[in-house]
Structure 1
């Protein structure tokens, strides 16, 4: 189970395309987006989602939204793993899809949750082992523009995915 509690908060939200190493590539540590919380959390326990997602998207390109959403004709090791819709497909294929519900008790530390924000943009975060101030829900580590922070945001937007990996 991956945990993001030791990730640095001082991260500038920057979705810019950057050329990175492969495998185990990453944008500079002081930059990141919501998907980087997931990527870095798993990398911290020895799982390279960049490599794993690339191998799956390379073998199953038509199953991923890369052409439909971004007009790509082939996988790209620099960005594919940093895109929430690709992570949703990957976790649906290679992880365990868990029920989407309005019950806080269904969401456990280590679970990955994806949403569509009010503006329709995809977002993703990691449920961690700290509780909300009312002790009713676990917090979610995410980055929505204010660095990597743990917040009580589980039911703040429309949940579109719930996974364990």
Structure 2
């Protein structure tokens, strides 16, 4: 019973009775990493990750750029990587946060919080930007939660709202990761996926690549990690913000 109570507090996705019966405490802790997942849309993902995080062998391309020479996309990558360094655990709970500049506890967050914190590291507050746009154009945003108006506590933490904002104010880019389209994927871009179970996910494109030249992604689907997962799920969005023309 104690295991079940602890398990519930960790907001596990999946069958509690099966995990407790067959895994034991050690398996339970492993499941926290491999089975817990989700986005801040009120639902949990179900075991969508599978590869190990990247173990860097040296400075990445962005890390070799001096701070004075880094652009906004460089800082976005560095900010996203901070989530990995802190070992942020997934938690999509609704919380009251201040506005602007509000955030959930730093040791926790959803996939969308990786994006929010990465851009804040680059001096861009998506909480404020998304709220201001929703306040003026609420009817243009997804009406999925039965709200009469914007909510500064959660709007920016929802995948559909982020996608709508970037589609309106960012640069929409190709979704394919092959041929010439592969060249359109640059570090600091934001990627959105749909899992096989229909739930949505997001992350930041890394400056590191696999042996085939496909960039890695920094995301949180249980625990924040940087890994080779860009083509693992259906890609539904690829954006650059701010647009390169600005």
Partner of 2:234: 158
Q: Distance in 2 between matches of 1:63 and 1:118?
A: 27
- TM-score, structure 2 normalization: 0.63
The residue correspondences of 1:1-165 to structure 2 (distance < 5 A) are 1=73, 2-3=76-77, 4-7=80-83, 8-65=85-142, 67=143, 69-103=144-178, 104-132=182-210, 134-145=211-222, 147-165=223-241
* 1:6-60 Cα distance to aligned partner (Å, 9 max, x none): 3334212111100001000000001101000100000001111000000001110
Contact 1:100/1:161 (8 A) holds in 2: yes
Shift of the alpha carbon at 1:106?
2.7
Q: How many residues align?
A: 161
Structure 1 runs (4+) greater than 3 angstroms displaced? none
**Larger CA deviation: 96-105 vs 41-50:** 96-105
Contact 1:9/1:149 (8 A) holds in 2: no
- TM-score, structure 1 normalization: 0.93
RMSD of Structure 2 on Structure 1 (CA):
1.1
* 1:89-114 Cα distance to aligned partner (Å, 9 max, x none): 00000110111113233311111110
* Gap runs ≥5 in structure 2: 1-72, 242-246
* Gap runs ≥5 in structure 1: none
Contact 2:91/2:110 (8 A) holds in 1: yes
Q: Distance in 1 between matches of 2:165 and 2:159?
A: 10
With a CA cutoff of 8 Å and minimum separation of 6, indicate the structure with the bigger relative contact order: 1
When you count helix as a share of all residues, which structure comes out higher?
2
